Structure 1
Amino acid sequence: MKSTDNRIIWKEKNDFELLGLINRFIDKNEIVTVREYQKKLADNSGQAPSLWIINQRFGSWDKMLLSLGKKTYQRYKWDEYSDSKLEKLVKKFITDNQIRSQRRYEKKCVGENMPSLSTLKKRFQDVRPFFSSEKEKKVSDFEMMYLLKTEIERLNLEASLSRRAFEQNYDRKIMPSPSTIIRRTGKTWEELMKEIGFNYREIKIKRITKNLKQNQK
């Protein structure tokens, strides 16, 4: 006996019928995001059209939701939040749910109208401060600056003050990332270097001049 090709079944239905099926499936399973839809559909094969069918018929998941009169899941709405506002929102969620790890957050935020872990990483680069202990949070700006200078000297980066080289080699066990320090102090890398006693601009000019001379040879 041949198996039924669901693609043919969905293709035979008009937009109104298809939207009705999708709407009932979404409401029945309390689905908010496209990821939830795909997961529920995997557990209930044949009860609703695939995402491929939805994209083919309506253009996209969001356009289909608009056709149903439902609010779309604003994937990029977090761009409208300032760093401080987003940080405050996430920290409250982490505290309220007693989240201690990135893995736990990744599981807990699903369906909770919270930014995903990947979204946070793209925005803040280093997300470890969100999950750090109270002791780590109490590190003063002075201590951070001291650790920064100590690490630069340990890595012998005084001659270049390269942020990239520093990020690749600094000891992550003893200090926060450069991105965290920059965000917390509100200073640029050049300003941080100046504050801890280095002349970043002078070193940068020397490096550029040296490169120009080498290119002229």
Structure 2
Amino acid sequence: MSLQDIQSRIHTAEENASRPKGSAKLIAVSKVQPNERVEAVLQEGHRCFGENRVQEAAGKWPDFAMRYSDLDLHLIGPLQSNKARQAMELFQSIHTLDRPKLANSIARLAQELGHCPKLFIQVNTGEEPQKAGIPPREADVFIHECQSMDLVIEGLMCIPPAGEEPSLHFALLAKIAARNGLTGLSMGMSGDFETAVALGATHVRVGSAIFGARAYEI
């Protein structure tokens, strides 16, 4: 598999769903990937990348940013409130806003810094106790709470439970977003991104299918 293969499959999925070409953005998930693999994808012209950890991203991307000024970095892993400032200075989008304490931290820092990344609220559609995300039944209230803090919510994000039909979770996320007037849907990974595109994904997160197997897991 290659970057071009994934992009082609996304475009085909968009066409099959009667969606405009380019309506689903590809986030190349570069977590724990060696810099040479990331460099190869950058040299192919791709600029949109996803990282799971603030600390890892902070050690990787400033050097790349000196040579590539148009990077679009997305935090797709859990964010601790005490790392919010660093995340807001490094990433263009944060996909894992999932609790009031973090929302308060981001709102305060947005006022202090004068800018704020695009924000996605993570919804735990499978209500898995070990997984981050706001429960679906609490999503509407949390969305409104964030908006009352003057946070501009771009959309919602989910990670379906392993072994379950992802389309059910994608459809649920889309339903919650629609009733709250949100258009961003961050959903779909290497094994199910075409299904996600068919159900309205605006951002899909693909890693190993682009970069190859990771050298190690964190």
Question: Does TM, normalized by the shorter one, top 0.5?
Answer: no
Quickly name the TM-score band, shorter chain normalised: under 0.3
Name the structure, 1 or 2, with higher relative contact order (CA <8 Å, separation 6+). 2
> Which is richer in helix?
1
> Which is richer in strand?
2
Query: Normalized against structure 1, the TM-score is what?
Result: 0.24
Query: Normalized against structure 2, the TM-score is what?
Result: 0.24
